[in-house]
Amino acid sequence: MRADVLIVGAGMVGSALALALHHSGLEILLLDGGPMTVKPHDPHAPFEPRVSALSAASQRILDRLGAWQGISQRRLSPYSDMRVWDGSGTGQIHFSAASVHAQVLGHIVENRVIQDALLERLHDSDVGLLANARLEQMRRSGDEWLLTLADGRSLRAPLVVAADGAQSAVRRLTGCETREWDYLHHAIVTSVRCSQPHQATAWQRFTDHGPLAFLPLLRDGRQDWCSIVWSTTPEQAEKAMAMDDQAFCQALERAFEGRLGHVLQADPRVCVPLRQRHAKRYVAEGLALIGDAAHTIHPLAGQGVNLGFLDAAVLAEELQHACDRGERLADERVLSRYERRRMPHNLALMAAMESFERVFQADPLPLRWLRNSGLKLVEQIREAKALFVRQALGLSGDLPELARA
Where do the H-state alpha helices sit in 204-279?
234-242, 245-255
In 3-state terms, what secondary structure has residue 380? helix
Tell me if 48 sits within 8 A of 114, measured CB to CB.
no
Tell me what pLDDT residue 405 has: 81
Tell me if 136 sits within 8 A of 149, measured CB to CB.
yes
**3-state helix vs strand vs coil in the chain, percent to 5:** 40, 30, 30
Q: What is the CATH number of the domain that holds 145?
A: 3.50.50.60
Q: Does residue 195 fall inside a structural domain?
A: no
Alpha carbons 377 and 17: distance in angstroms, whole number: 41
Read off φ and ψ for residue 104, nearest 5 degrees. -135, 155
Q: Does residue 265 fall inside a structural domain?
A: no
Question: How many structural domains compose the chain?
Answer: 1
Q: Does residue 348 fall inside a structural domain?
A: yes
Tell me if 187 sits within 8 A of 229, measured CB to CB.
yes
**Model pTM score:** 0.93
Tell me if 245 sits within 8 A of 252, measured CB to CB.
no
Tell me what pLDDT residue 207 has: 84
Tell me what pLDDT residue 385 has: 64
Alpha carbons 336 and 333: distance in angstroms, whole number: 5
The pLDDT tens digits along the chain (405 residues) read 999 999 999 999 999 999 999 999 999 999 999 999 999 989 889 999 999 999 999 999 999 999 999 999 999 999 999 998 887 666 788 888 888 888 999 999 999 999 999 999 999 999 999 999 999 999 999 999 999 999 999 999 999 999 999 999 999 999 999 999 888 899 999 999 999 999 999 999 988 788 899 999 998 889 999 999 999 999 999 999 999 999 999 999 999 999 999 999 999 999 999 988 999 999 999 999 999 999 998 776 567 899 999 999 999 999 999 999 999 999 999 999 999 999 998 988 777 666 555 555 545 545 554 555 555 555 655 666 666 777 777 777 789 999 998
Q: How many residues appear in the chain?
A: 405
Domain range enclosing 154: 5-180+275-403
Tell me what pLDDT residue 381 has: 58
Q: Does residue 288 fall inside a structural domain?
A: yes
Q: Does residue 289 fall inside a structural domain?
A: yes
From 283, 249, 290, 2, select the one nearest 142 (Cα to Cα): 2
DSSP 296-323: E--GGGS-HHHHHHHHHHHHHHHHHHHH
Q: Does residue 186 fall inside a structural domain?
A: no
Q: Does residue 251 fall inside a structural domain?
A: no
Q: Does residue 200 fall inside a structural domain?
A: no
Tell me what pLDDT residue 355 has: 56
